[in-house]
Amino acid sequence: MPRIDGRRPDELRPIRIERDYLDFAEGSCLISTGKTKILCSASVEDGVPEFLNGSGRGWVTAEYAMLPKSTKSRSPRDSNRGGRAREIQRLIGRSLRAVIDFKALGERTIILDCDVIQADGGTRTASITGAMIALHDAVSWMRKAELISSYPIRDLVAATSVGIVNGECLLDLCYAEDSAADVDFNVVMAGTGEFIELQGTAEERPFNRECLDRMLALAGQGIEQLCQIQRETLEL
Amino acid sequence: MPRIDGRRPDELRPIRIERDYLDFAEGSCLISTGKTKILCSASVEDGVPEFLNGSGRGWVTAEYAMLPKSTKSRSPRDSNRGGRAREIQRLIGRSLRAVIDFKALGERTIILDCDVIQADGGTRTASITGAMIALHDAVSWMRKAELISSYPIRDLVAATSVGIVNGECLLDLCYAEDSAADVDFNVVMAGTGEFIELQGTAEERPFNRECLDRMLALAGQGIEQLCQIQRETLEL
Amino acid sequence: MPRIDGRRPDELRPIRIERDYLDFAEGSCLISTGKTKILCSASVEDGVPEFLNGSGRGWVTAEYAMLPKSTKSRSPRDSNRGGRAREIQRLIGRSLRAVIDFKALGERTIILDCDVIQADGGTRTASITGAMIALHDAVSWMRKAELISSYPIRDLVAATSVGIVNGECLLDLCYAEDSAADVDFNVVMAGTGEFIELQGTAEERPFNRECLDRMLALAGQGIEQLCQIQRETLEL
Amino acid sequence: MPRIDGRRPDELRPIRIERDYLDFAEGSCLISTGKTKILCSASVEDGVPEFLNGSGRGWVTAEYAMLPKSTKSRSPRDSNRGGRAREIQRLIGRSLRAVIDFKALGERTIILDCDVIQADGGTRTASITGAMIALHDAVSWMRKAELISSYPIRDLVAATSVGIVNGECLLDLCYAEDSAADVDFNVVMAGTGEFIELQGTAEERPFNRECLDRMLALAGQGIEQLCQIQRETLEL
Amino acid sequence: MPRIDGRRPDELRPIRIERDYLDFAEGSCLISTGKTKILCSASVEDGVPEFLNGSGRGWVTAEYAMLPKSTKSRSPRDSNRGGRAREIQRLIGRSLRAVIDFKALGERTIILDCDVIQADGGTRTASITGAMIALHDAVSWMRKAELISSYPIRDLVAATSVGIVNGECLLDLCYAEDSAADVDFNVVMAGTGEFIELQGTAEERPFNRECLDRMLALAGQGIEQLCQIQRETLEL
Amino acid sequence: MPRIDGRRPDELRPIRIERDYLDFAEGSCLISTGKTKILCSASVEDGVPEFLNGSGRGWVTAEYAMLPKSTKSRSPRDSNRGGRAREIQRLIGRSLRAVIDFKALGERTIILDCDVIQADGGTRTASITGAMIALHDAVSWMRKAELISSYPIRDLVAATSVGIVNGECLLDLCYAEDSAADVDFNVVMAGTGEFIELQGTAEERPFNRECLDRMLALAGQGIEQLCQIQRETLEL
């Protein structure tokens, strides 16, 4: 059965990354995956959260929000900062912290803002993939500004979703597919292909081990391609 | 004395309007004036605020917010919805309501979301000029959808700022000029050249009548050009 | 056509200022204009907002709120601190800051509380006129207490409203007139007759230049009288 | 030892009640006891809280707040609605509900707003004594408006404080006395001299039964005088 | 007439105190009185509220909340922290502060958390009786940890309720009795039998002096028994 | 290397489930796993969230909160309801919804409150295991009350954590182990051994596939034991 937008089961949506989208940010990009569009920016600030004060170590944190009209049915602004948004921004922050050398950052905090301009599924995984670009550029800016002397990022991070829809295992679900999925999986990997975060949910009924294995394999292929696009964008 | 970005005193910054920027909105545009960039969208919803229930009349309202990294120094999200933002969104709503025939809308509300992607001065006036485009397109969408039978907009609305900087009267202040201004004026006009809203503030010391007259003349010229750009964008 | 309360078009409502209304405030008055009654107080506090720390300069800020039963239909307390109240208190603060020598204040903040005891139109302009009295007396108290050595107020500030009601230009609108106005203008002037703030709004349809000129002239006359009453109250 | 303001131990501060202080309220007064000044108003609204829906019975509730500069040291507005204010407004509402015939009110709510203009001790008890006046007048207004056919108030309610200061039992404590009190008692009584509410607190150390008896006797005398003043004010 | 649960008018419900209920608290107990069950814990923290900074004196404060399903009809979590809860926690803190020697505590704060696991009337008085146990054990912990050198508690504190139900004076009301009571009294006493706090409320109609005297006598008997149980629990 | 509390790598902490812990709840238990103690209750309410109105289908949702002194260092109450708590309660609700037949429930909502009395790691997984008991008993209560005619639960749900600590794969981490873990995995399974939810996080550095496989096997063994304990508790 062909997918709703004509893709093969193992095909990502078209990715576009406009690097340096903002003039005033230390790092930023506008990432699009199909109709999903997210503005990712990185801000470098002095100081760290209280629990790191005096440790000589830095911090990376994220915020995620959807613009009210990013979806067909407008969501009030207050509702955009509730439980779901907080869960997602915790995931984004955790994912990127997994490849950071905090010692090398010094007592500075990098805030990654992921603002969803348009949402058609996969906003949390696209946020991670885009925030990686903004984070890299903010760190480059810090080196140029001679705030740091070594490069504090150990590897790339990228993410995508996989799911079971009508019994078929699909890569990079759009909103319509996501709504119909029996199982929904978000996978975050490092450039090495190792796992950083796995979140799988049975929406309708439990799933078995064989199903899990197929989804992980598919996610791995997709993330490999995303890391390749990140490398091209960053000219690494 | 030349302006900071080389413009003549009576020169607007370059305007760019990307109409239909969003796929899911009833009307939308991304408007840029120089480095200031605002995403304007219009949402059509059934129902009206309580005070209009049963009146047969519609309503138009606006919301305004800045993304955290729209300025060089990041602003926390909560601070972006405080007194200043509310004051601005009230101005935007009031300005556009001045040209609406509420009877023709029926008991529907159009919400105009103005989200500042990047701020370099003049965000409130650019929001008004851009929201006009989104509003027009939402109304056209309503007609195509046969929700309304007549066109409920009586005229165009556009806005700009003028100010006195170092004794000189300047059109369309960028942020650096705005910060240095002795007097700061926001002017909203209809396509006919009549006033819809005037807000003038002496930042440092009071100003006299002659000064007021010069500013109003300059604003009038600028808004005439903006309405011309609106007409071209909308192919009116 | 006679006005609703029998006044001439260019006639202010009766003004009454009870100076030193509060025993514990550094400066205070109860100002009445017709049935509108506002309690204005000034509090002198050490310290300034963060952006002025270490500058040696002081600050003046205002808060505005309506008591729940200041109007015929009671408003819940929470609703009294929303967008409209914040917009008004920003206007009050800005207006009085225009005549202050912040250097002479030292790193102190004067908070002007304007609490509406009864509202019959014109609360924001009466707040400004009354807050001027409280501010003056707080500053006199500071001199007596030898906190400051020079007088940091450069001029008086007073305000009134004007509007177009049924095609006629009227001074100092009461609530019933304000509700029926086509155009509504708030004007803040210094004792010299120069402008500090102008806020004009077309409630129903745009207005033209001639109309603007008539309103400004009428406002100028009214404010001249208000400043005269302030001078008598303060025995200047 | 003479009291701080020269009163005898069993002497109330001078009471002044300005009835009908507000033009738009169904009932209101400004009550002063010494320097303590409270604006009490009553609002009649249709409907009752959910737990009374359909019961045919009415409700009386109260709100209490202090203006920021009601005390020497200004309190931020937000802090004026915290735990202490809520505790006080619950006491005011409960006290007046004890004399109301809710059946006779019908499904209507009377809201008693007690706003402290100036605070010099005893604000909660003065609020009760003043709210009684506003409540009476609101009920009279309802009868004139033919909303009710019988008089739904069974008795007067008044309140005062007593306390032990330096071992001496004092009536109607002002702020300075209240701050120095070992025991602090608020007593609410009906016009019959029976108790409606008793709240006694040992501030420093526990107190014994004899001490309690002396305080209750003193409170009884004071409240008898307050009810007499209420009767004169209301011409009962 | 027998009581709803078969008790005599002057009989307390069965009390059970599980001391050291929590492994990580400086002091804690689970107190049950009939079906009412409250978890009381004491936390010792460095520092004091601002008004005590530098005074060398400590502070004791309390927080009270009900778990959502502590009652038959579930209460939303937000509603559990409103006016009633704040009033109760202020009472708990005040009651225990009456027997503390703050000088001996040093600049430390003890926070008493009273969380209602199950509510069947008398939660505020059981909280006080249980918090006394937690407070005692926290103070013992401080002595063992050599944070303090003398014992800063001067006496025990316990509390119970009394009320008039169907004309009869009853001790320790359960929820069903409390709902039917004409008068409701909460009494807090020290181990010496002296009063710390008295709160009496006429729910339906005013009550007289004779009635008050009977209630106080009954409360005194009950609290004597509670203090005896505290002594046994604490092996004093 | 022996574990901190002497357990084998594949050994659960001692589990204790006190069924029917609350008298007023439709279903409840106090579950302990080692020192972690959670009170789980189920409330049956009429009605469903708006998106299900009129669907004839029911809903199951959860709330999770920690008592302030559930951990060694007391957490303020407000902080207990932030992003982490919301993420956890979303997980609990989702997990139990996976085995519910919503049609059979009718338009009713079951709210599962999970309140952490004491926290020593694994609170989210213990909440799921305990909420299953409360949910089962609430559903039995509904059948006895003849609100439903068929049994709407398709299977058991239980959960545990696994992790990599010092290179070793451990089952059911206590807090000290969790803090030292390189990888942290929460696994939710149905009684059939199929997956309901998988959440794995690399705390320090990415992990590979072989590591994932070992953790999933260990989690499977643990959950099998937990389901056995659930069956015994529920006498299934």
Test F202 with A84 for CB contact under 8 angstroms.
Answer: no
Test mutation, C35, C74, C80, C109, chain D, max D CBs within 10 A: C74
Test D194 with E208 for CB contact under 8 angstroms.
Answer: yes
Q: Report residue D225 as tokens.
A: 């005088």
Test E89 with D83 for CB contact under 8 angstroms.
Answer: yes
Q: What pLDDT, on a 0 to 100 scale, did the predictor assign at position E1?
A: 67
The whole-angstrom distance between D203's CA and the closest CA on chain E is 7
Give the count of Cβ contacts less than 8 A between chain E and F. 68
Q: What pLDDT, on a 0 to 100 scale, did the predictor assign at position E80?
A: 66
How large is the average pLDDT for residues A172-192?
95
Residue F148 class from Cβ within 10 Å (0-12 exposed, 13-18 middle, 19+ buried)? middle
Q: What pLDDT, on a 0 to 100 scale, did the predictor assign at position D129?
A: 98
User: Is any Cβ of chain E less than 8 angstroms from the Cβ of F36?
Assistant: no
Q: What pLDDT, on a 0 to 100 scale, did the predictor assign at position F1?
A: 67
Query: In which band, very low, low, confident or very high, does the pLDDT at C2 lie, cut at 50, 70 and 90?
Result: confident
Residue of F nearest to A185 (CA): F198
Q: Can you tell me the distance from the alpha carbon of A7 to that of C235, in angstroms, rounded to the nearest whole number?
A: 83
Q: What pLDDT, on a 0 to 100 scale, did the predictor assign at position A2?
A: 78
Residue of F nearest to A197 (CA): F201
Q: Can you tell me the distance from the alpha carbon of B36 to that of B5, in angstroms, rounded to the nearest whole number?
A: 14
Test E113 with F43 for CB contact under 8 angstroms.
Answer: no
Within chain C, what is the greatest distance between any pair of CA atoms? 58
- The C residues from 205 to 234 touching B (CB cutoff 8 Å) are 205-209, 212, 216
Query: In which band, very low, low, confident or very high, does the pLDDT at A207 lie, cut at 50, 70 and 90?
Result: very high
Test D68 with C63 for CB contact under 8 angstroms.
Answer: yes
For E210, other C-beta atoms within 10 Å of its C-beta total 8
Q: Can you tell me the distance from the alpha carbon of E10 to that of D228, in angstroms, rounded to the nearest whole number?
A: 40
User: What is the share, in percent, of chain C residues with pLDDT greater than 90?
Assistant: 93
Test F70 with E24 for CB contact under 8 angstroms.
Answer: yes
Q: What pLDDT, on a 0 to 100 scale, did the predictor assign at position C1?
A: 67
Q: What pLDDT, on a 0 to 100 scale, did the predictor assign at position F83?
A: 82
SS3 of residue F121 by DSSP: coil
How large is the average pLDDT for residues F197-213?
92
Which pTM was predicted?
Answer: 0.90
Q: Which of A28, A69, A115 has the CB atom closest to B113's CB atom?
A: A69
The whole-angstrom distance between A96's CA and the closest CA on chain B is 19
SS3 of residue D217 by DSSP: helix
Query: In which band, very low, low, confident or very high, does the pLDDT at F159 lie, cut at 50, 70 and 90?
Result: very high
Residue of E nearest to D157 (CA): E206
Residue E182 class from Cβ within 10 Å (0-12 exposed, 13-18 middle, 19+ buried)? middle
Cβ-Cβ contacts under 8 Å for C63 (sequence gap 6 or more): C89, C111, C112, C113, C114, D68, D77
Test A212 with F198 for CB contact under 8 angstroms.
Answer: yes
Chain E residues close to D99, C-beta within 8 Å: 206
Low-confidence residues of chain E, pLDDT below 50?
A: none
Q: What pLDDT, on a 0 to 100 scale, did the predictor assign at position D205?
A: 81
For E100, other C-beta atoms within 10 Å of its C-beta total 21
How large is the average pLDDT for residues B149-176?
95
Closest CA to B91 of B218, B198, B212: B198
Chain D residues close to C22, C-beta within 8 Å: 69-70, 117-118
The whole-angstrom distance between A203's CA and the closest CA on chain F is 7
Q: Which of B39, B74, B113 has the CB atom closest to A43's CB atom?
A: B74
Test mutation, F207, F215, F218, chain A, max A CBs within 10 A: F207
Chain D residues close to C130, C-beta within 8 Å: none
Q: Can you tell me the distance from the alpha carbon of E195 to that of D161, in angstroms, rounded to the nearest whole number?
A: 17
Test E24 with F111 for CB contact under 8 angstroms.
Answer: no
| Element (DSSP H or E) covering residue B89 | helix B83-97
Test F194 with A201 for CB contact under 8 angstroms.
Answer: no
Q: What pLDDT, on a 0 to 100 scale, did the predictor assign at position A221?
A: 97
Chain D residues close to C45, C-beta within 8 Å: 74
How large is the average pLDDT for residues C129-152?
96
User: Is any Cβ of chain F less than 8 angstroms from the Cβ of A103?
Assistant: no
pLDDT per residue over A212-228, tens digit each? 999 999 999 999 999 99
The whole-angstrom distance between C58's CA and the closest CA on chain B is 14
Query: What DSSP character marks residue F146?
Result: T
User: Is any Cβ of chain F less than 8 angstroms from the Cβ of E69?
Assistant: yes
pLDDT per residue over D134-166, tens digit each? 999 999 999 999 999 999 999 999 999 999 999
Closest CA to E216 of E192, E191, E195: E195
Query: In which band, very low, low, confident or very high, does the pLDDT at C6 lie, cut at 50, 70 and 90?
Result: very high
Test A196 with F202 for CB contact under 8 angstroms.
Answer: yes
Test B201 with C204 for CB contact under 8 angstroms.
Answer: no
Chain F residues close to E35, C-beta within 8 Å: 23
The whole-angstrom distance between C32's CA and the closest CA on chain D is 12
Residue C192 class from Cβ within 10 Å (0-12 exposed, 13-18 middle, 19+ buried)? middle
User: Is any Cβ of chain E less than 8 angstroms from the Cβ of F69?
Assistant: yes
Closest CA to C229 of C22, C77, C86, C31: C31
Chain F residues close to E43, C-beta within 8 Å: 68-69, 74
pLDDT per residue over D14-63, tens digit each? 999 999 999 999 999 999 999 999 999 999 999 999 999 999 999 999 99
Test F195 with A212 for CB contact under 8 angstroms.
Answer: yes
